[in-house]
Amino acid sequence: MGSKGVGLDIGTNMLVSAMMNAEGNPVYKRQRDAFLRITPKSKVNQKSIRIALENRKANFIIDESDDFIVVGEDALLMANERNANARRPMSKGVLSPKEKDSLPMIKLIIKSLIGKGEGSDNLVFSIPAEPVDGAFDIFFHTEMMKSYMKEMGFEATPLNEGFAIAFSELLDDNLTGMCISCLVPGTKIYTDKGIVNIEDVVEGDKVLTHKGRFKNVNAVITKQFKGISTKIQLQGYKDSTEYYKFVDDHEILVNRKGNWLWIGCESLKVGDIVGEPIVKQDRGGGKPTMTICERITSSRLFINGDFCCTRVQSIEYEDYEGVVYDLNIEDDHSFSGPFLTIHNCGAGMINTAVVYEGDPVVQFSLLRGGDWIDNAVGKALDEIPSLIQVEKEDDSLDIINPESKIHEAISVYYNVLINYALDNILYELDKSKLPSFREEIPVVVSGGLTLAKGFVNKFKAGIIGKKFPFEVKEVRRAKDPMTAVANGCLMAAVL
């Protein structure tokens, strides 16, 4: 073991370090996972920007193109001041080889938290579990982080984020419990009146959801978009072809290894199975009759469970500028078109671990988390996600008794997220081989999302009526949700 231990929580929203002081008590430092690029208009402007940044003691670097890159908390504050969006070095929860501009930013943030080690100092850092509702390269992320730590003088070991919470919060429970960290115009949509373009859907219409039933459209959401879109091509009926175009990593329903999962369009692969739900109507007590997918004539189309399926033929990325549409759907939160089922509003992460007497028997993550709330509320209210993030982190936020329009919207999407998380957690637990728990076990929730007033009560209410494969003793929030993962990593480093 090195001469000192360091715990580092590499979260999607915040990075937190933990070290022991001379008295043997943990000391925490944290920095936001964010950066903002400022491009000077001239040499004089470059000097004036630098003076202003230095006067406000902002954490920044100057890159090879002479742009200023502000990182951490300053990036979020300055983005809101400028009505801009701060970016994240780890927008999907992990480092990506596709986001080369982000790599220097995360190194700068980490260095500001842990400084320089002595070469043999032991450091344990958090990593997410493999997601069940998407895909990313956890190996690249882990190896890059270990490389960074080595450059800074640390011997680094990765630790699952949910398991880290167990080290912090379940020592008095014999390390046993469950820890939870917390479209464009022209798109064809199935309605009860037939196929219509998404821009022609209005509030009150009924659309076909992933459950094979028609549900009301609560709201039609539009906004101006300029950026990269994802265009996918599907094999249609006979020799036809269906095209869809998405922005903002919109989620669609994909079948992977026999499971239907909500996956961001940017994580799609050629060959992925997608599908439209089969509508079943009960006609006078007789057998349900299929009213969609009866047209199948191509051997390239097939039935899988309750879906009529095809495969993704190609994926392209194109520039798009114009209006984009989304629908807020009653109860099921999804809508469908020819051979595709779409979620009505995705990232951040929720990490879950079930630990039995110190052994992590189940570990997985969900890609939908706090970022999803920011983006969904931003779309609904036509506000930038950075502003929603600030409101979501406001100490006055009460998701049971919201006091403003933005807080009301945040509360609505908290409900959706909690139900989504619980449904996916139960699904994963049901198919896992769990030990026979002798006693009731605690459920510990942690992370920034849990700080909102009323979160624990909302979570408890969400559990009512759901059948877990063990008896739940209690639902409790971590002693300090913002430092629990870093503290658990520190405990693992010094044990």
Q: Please tell me the predicted confidence (pLDDT) of residue 296.
A: 42
Contact 29, 16 (CB under 8 A): yes
Cβ atoms of 367 and 373 within 8 Å: the answer is no
Q: CA angle 57-81-384, nearest 5°?
A: 130
CB 418 within 8 A of CB 456: no
Tens of pLDDT, residues 422-474: 888 888 898 888 898 888 999 999 988 898 999 999 999 988 888 899 999 99
Q: Return the residue matching tokens 């020799």.
A: 239
Domain ranges of the chain: 6-173+486-494, 180-184+347-477, 190-343
Cα–Cα distance for residue pair 23/46, rounded to 1 Å: 45
Cα–Cα distance, 294 to 277 (Å, whole number): 12
Q: For residues 117, 118, 120 and 121, what is the CA-based torsion angle, rounded to 10 degrees?
A: -40
Q: What is the pLDDT of residue 331?
A: 67
Residue-by-residue pLDDT tens, the chain, 495 positions: 334 789 999 987 789 999 988 888 899 998 888 888 899 999 999 999 999 999 999 888 888 888 998 988 888 888 878 877 777 777 566 776 666 667 778 888 888 899 888 877 899 999 988 877 666 678 888 998 999 999 999 999 999 999 999 999 998 998 899 988 765 566 778 888 888 888 888 888 999 888 888 888 876 766 666 667 888 888 765 455 677 887 666 778 888 777 777 676 777 888 888 888 887 554 344 443 334 444 444 445 566 667 888 888 888 888 777 777 777 677 666 778 776 766 554 345 688 999 999 999 999 887 777 778 887 888 788 887 778 888 898 889 999 999 999 999 999 989 888 888 888 888 889 888 889 888 899 999 998 889 899 999 999 998 888 889 999 999 999 999 889 999 999 999 988
Q: How far apart are CA 255 and CA 258, in angstroms?
A: 6
Task: Give the per-residue pLDDT at 84.
Answer: 77
Please, which residues bridge with residue 19 across strands? 6, 27
Name the 3-class secondary structure at 384: coil
The 3-state DSSP class for residue 148 equals helix
Name the nearest CA neighbour of 177 among 435, 463, 350, 431. Answer: 435
Helix axes 405-430, 455-463, angle to 10 degrees: 40
> Per the structure block, which two tokens stand in for 473?
């003793």
- E-assigned strands of 182-267? 188-191, 194-197, 206-208, 214-235, 241-246, 251-256, 259-264
Please name the amino acid found at residue 420. Answer: Y
Q: What is the DSSP letter of 421?
A: H
190-343 under CATH 3.90.320.10, yes or no: no
The CATH code belonging to domain 6-173+486-494 is 3.30.420.40
Domains 6-173+486-494 and 180-184+347-477 share a fold: yes
CATH number, span 180-184+347-477: 3.30.420.40
